Amino acid sequence: MPDISKVLIANRGEIAVRVIRSCKHLGIKTVAVYSEPDSSMPHVLLADEAVHIGEAASSASYLVTDKIIGAAKKTGADAIHPGYGFLSENASFAKRCREEGIIFIGPSPEAIEAMGDKTKARELMEKHGVPLPPGTASALKDIAEAESVAERIGYPVMIKAAAGGGGKGMRIVHRKEDFTSSIRTAKSEAMSAFGDDRVYVEKYLENPRHIEFQIMADTHGNVLHFFDRECSVQRRHQKVVEEAPSPFLDNTMRQDMAAVAVKVAKSCGYTGAGTVEFLADKHRNFYFLEMNTRLQVEHPVTESITGYDLVELQIKVAEGKKLEISQDDLFIKGHAIECRICAEDPAENFMPSTGYLKRFSPPSGIGVRVDEGIESNRTVSINYDPLLAKLITYGKDRDQAIRRMKTALEEFEVDGCKTTIPFCHFTMKHPVFQSGNYDTHFIGQYYKPAQLIQENGDDNIDSAAILAAALIAANSSKSHMDLAKSESNGHGSNANGSLWWTKRVR
């Protein structure tokens, strides 16, 4: 394949900015696409060219294949990077790129299809001897069969959508009496989210840990792993905090899981960047969960501990180049943690939060990296994923990475919408997280929204106290209310929903 000269990024926000920066380092021209409300977003301003592709709804813009392909042809882009989400794991889109003579910076349509369908992936893994949780490899035919499987493997069980991901179409069932209603709900949700109501059942593991391995494969048969990431801090089966390497793994278990991850990639003729995800139980048994056929949100922690730019490697593999490194060249150095800064209210079950960002000021410093896709004086919309930025800290060891993260979170200023910053700080300070002995139940077991401010001590401005003071002042006199507002100086909670976490006043 010829060298890529211009890349269209079929995405928005922080991942679009991230890809554009790597392209610039390689001397490759970039094209951004944008919906109506994204016309002045950072990824549009940073790219060499930009093409308007529709209205706010992603179904009218970022998910329309014809518009993306049309933008690539209009600008002469010879490659498309899909980022993650949107069309990144759409086999039909990857195939369309191939038909149009446009390089798709990702795996083949066949590999996407093989791993995108969870039951087909399980069948393939079973064929290659990859460990799977007890359950069904294929989609269930009817409720009677599902009940029989659940009885055989024993409760609790997990119902999962065959075409699913992101926690949609997923249900944990602890009792036989709840099974039928749960499977109907899961099938309905799966149909709504994916247009496919097929589900399968597997054993729900005790105290599971979500551990994944980063894979990179070229078109010459070379498959490398870039070690592991721990992703067990989750809400609604979606990740919030990730770290690399996993504090749970010893060298033997790490090598065993890495070997399986490489086997998984080879089983489907994989090329490019991918992630093999596992669940590990308290007895240190591990099982294949799924393979994500794209770059992951949490890829920066892997870059931090290995020193390699994964987007750059993706592009070189897409050009047909052979990986210039071997497995022996890769090793873990230090520790990295990522906190997802999302426009969500952690005090209200992480519900989406919107608003006009009067201030968005990320931290900086030694060992601090911020991948952001928004800036001050921009509006956070309900139309897209709530991820505003990713905050990554690196240290010589895990303790240093945690300390740097706590400081960086304290210095992160956002005014205009609620974010996950307070929850991330809660996590960094919690002794269970600090010990490394946590699992996917961390939020359910330890996180109590009402105790968030108390847990954080003096490290934040107490919005509840500010609000209470304002109400008391209002009852006294309007002048007192005005004084309270002026003295708050924009920090804490206000009438338009501004963040109740900003940089501590010193």
Check if 235 is active-site.
no
- Residue 415: CB atoms within 10 A of its CB come to 22
List residues bridging with 363 in a β-sheet: none
Q: Which of 455, 428, 454 is nearest to 233 (CA)?
A: 428
**Nearest 5°: phi and psi at 437?**
-100, 65
Decide if 108 contacts 92 (C-beta within 8 A): no
Tell me, letter by letter, the H, E, C secondary structure of 195-221: CCCCEEEEECCCCCEEEEEEEEECCCC
Q: How far apart are CA 28 and CA 437, in angstroms?
A: 44
Q: Which of 416, 384, 413, 414 is nearest to 41 (CA)?
A: 384
Tell me, letter by letter, the H, E, C secondary structure of 108-171: CHHHHHHHHCHHHHHHHHHHCCCCCCCECCCCCCCHHHHHHHHHHHCCCEEEEECCCCCCCCCE
Cis peptide before 2 (omega within 30 of 0): no
Using CA of residue 439, residue 445, residue 450, residue 456, what is the dihedral sign?
negative
Q: Which of 208, 186, 205, 201 is nearest to 150 (CA)?
A: 201
Strand, helix or coil for residue 12: coil
- Residue 335: CB atoms within 10 A of its CB come to 22
List residues bridging with 390 in a β-sheet: 340, 371
Q: How far apart are CA 64 and CA 55, in angstroms?
A: 11
Give kind and range of the element (H or E) at residue 427.
helix 421-429
Task: Read off the DSSP letter of residue 409.
Answer: H
**Nearest 5°: phi and psi at 502?**
-140, -175
Pull the structure tokens for residue 34. Answer: 């944008």
The label of the residue with tokens 């002048």 reads: 479
Q: How far apart are CA 65 and CA 81, in angstroms?
A: 13
The label of the residue with tokens 């804490």 reads: 492
Catalytic-role residue among 294, 340, 378, 404: 294
**Is residue 363 left, alpha or beta, with left meaning phi > 0 and alpha meaning psi from -120 to 50?**
beta
- Give me the active site residues, please: 294
